[in-house]
Amino acid sequence: MFCRCELEYFGEPNTRTCPVCLAHPGALPVANRKAVEWTIKLGLALGCEIADEAVFSRKNYFYPDNPKGYQISQYDKPLCIGGSLLVPGQEGDREIGFVRAHLEEDAAKTVHVGGATGRKIGSAHSPVDFNRGGTPLVEIVTQPDIRSSDEARRFLQLLRETIVELGISDAEMEKGTLRVDANVSVRERGEPGYRKRWELKNVNSFAFVARGIDAAVREQVRVYESGGEVVQETYDFEPETNTLTPHRTKEEADDYRYFPEPDLVPVQSENATIERLRAEVPELPGARIVKLRDELGFATAQTLVMGGLDRLWAATRDAGAEQVAAANVIANQLVGVGVDPARVDAAELAKLVVARDEIPRKTFDEAIAHAGDEGFSADPYLAQKAVAEASELEPIVDRVLAANAAQIEQYRSGKTGLLGFFVGQVMKETNGAADARVVNELLRQKLS
């Protein structure tokens, strides 16, 4: 954030450091322009007000992951203020508000070795990797607007997709490029205000965040119902046991003695820069889900948008495919076989969707599996029309029926589910090339 060290994940420990991020005497910080611009871009996407003047401050604390003895952060004058994110849902939309988003430098990574859980408690020793120290970090603080663990998960998914689409981070929890702390408190229905909260730290997937919230809610309700009081506390969530364990934090209370960083000038955002960045903000995933929901239903709309598939879907529809059929093929089949949607030619895919009932099922599946190949053309697949001529299929149907007299009797005495068995036999005889609708029709006629 304030030096020129290369940013690389999982690099050899302590190979991306310099006098600035290692806090050698006399080293001076210089703010990273790109990081400031990207934070403004994020703020614009989240509807924040961009401060005319943002101030970096020193947050003083002593800890091995912090060689300066302070972290450069933003305190009373953050870069982004307010804003909200629209979270569409099955049962209506929620607007989750933000308090602020500020820019700071990340701490180094402490690795706790020798304990069972990888946490500090029980570990033998804790070496520090300074590669992460000093890298840019945006902290986004929400208003207490989230009402359930499910809503928290959907909010996080949407926020993550928004960040990824802005092109400012890959935002992957497994890599640590997105981290989440969740604050949880319970109250009686209709009660104004909020009670004491617990903070859950070091949770490493959205599913675990949701489970951690559920565990905290359960435990707080239990405390209140047994006549106790919840005290403010920080916990780690242990996914293996579904339990919360107290998180040992720095010894002293939160007295960071903030003061403005004397080695950095305030960030003054120019209007021209803000407007340039505003123009770079794409239509957000939440708004796209709302748009598609009316046409496709919430579940399909969410799958397409969150999977980064809605642009391919729109292009496929525009190229002539029926919209629901296109959505089903893209959201289910294409993704199911691992095709990268960015590599698919929408016009060729549309041809396949349009003709999907006229070519053998097997051929269609093969075509979908290759739809992302370089220079893919639907034409050779479309040439393999399914056999739909009744005159061609009738002898095969007759042959199948003649070979399965016992099943015919069962069918006629009421086991009509056997129709699928006969269809399957005909398909087998034709190597999957028969038009299933025609076969069905023929069998029904002959079995009635």
Show Cβ contacts of residue 17 under 8 Å, excluding neighbours closer than 6 positions.
5, 130, 131, 133
Beta carbon nearer to Zn ion, 20 or 386: 20
Q: Return the number of the residue (3 or 433) whose C-beta is nearest Zn ion.
A: 3
Shortest Å distance, C-beta 25 to Zn ion: 15
Using CB under 5 A, which residues numbered 334 to 373 contact Zn ion?
none
Strands 136-142 and 70-74: unpaired
Which among 17-25, 81-89, 147-155, 317-325 is the span making contact with Zn ion, rule CB under 5 A? 17-25
Number of residues that bind Zn ion (CB under 5 A): 5
CA distances from 81 to 33, 99, 168, 270 (A): 19, 6, 19, 16
**Strands 49-50 and 80-81, how do they pair?**
antiparallel
Q: Does 128 bind Zn ion (CB under 5 A)?
A: no
- Based on CB atoms, which residue is closest to Zn ion, 10 or 226? 10
**Distance from C-alpha of 274 to C-alpha of 272, rounded to nearest angstrom:** 5
Nearest distance from C-beta of residue 196 to Zn ion, angstroms: 40
Residue type at 406? A
The CA distance from 234 to 182, in Å, is 10
**What is the spatial distance between Cα 263 and Cα 25, in angstroms, rounded to a whole number?**
13
Question: Which one of 12-20, 38-46, 288-296, 435-443 is the stretch in contact with Zn ion (CB under 5 A)?
Answer: 12-20
By beta-carbon proximity to Zn ion, the closer residue of 107 and 210 is 107
**387: contact with Zn ion by CB under 5 A:** no
Choose which of 6, 9, 13, 18 interacts with Zn ion (CB under 5 A).
18
Q: Using the rule CB under 5 A, is 152 a contact of Zn ion? A: no
Separation of alpha carbons 35 and 153, rounded Å? 27
Residue 65's CB is within 10 A of a number of other CB atoms, namely 17
For the CA atoms of the chain, what is the radius of gyration?
29
Judged by CB under 5 A, the chain residues 53 through 82 that form the site for Zn ion are none
| Min dist. Cβ of residue 21 to Zn ion (A) | 3
CA–CA separation, 421 vs 239, rounded Å?
Answer: 45
- Strand, helix or coil at 17? coil
Q: Which is nearer to Zn ion, 20 or 334 (CB)?
A: 20
Regarding 107 and contact with Zn ion (CB under 5 A), the answer is no
Q: Which is nearer to Zn ion, 21 or 397 (CB)?
A: 21
Backbone angles phi, psi at 275, to 5 degrees: -65, -40
Q: Residues 1, 21, 138, 166: which binds Zn ion (CB under 5 A)?
A: 21
Structure tokens at 353: 């969707």
Nearer to Zn ion, 21 or 401 (CB): 21
Q: Is 5 in the site for Zn ion (CB under 5 A)?
A: yes
Q: Minimal distance in Å, beta carbon 140 to Zn ion?
A: 24
Complex with Zn ion: residue 17 or 269, whichever CB lies closer? 17
Which tokens hold the place of 385? 């029309």
Looking up tokens 């002898």 gives 395
| Binding site residues, Zn ion, CB under 5 A | 3, 5, 18, 20-21
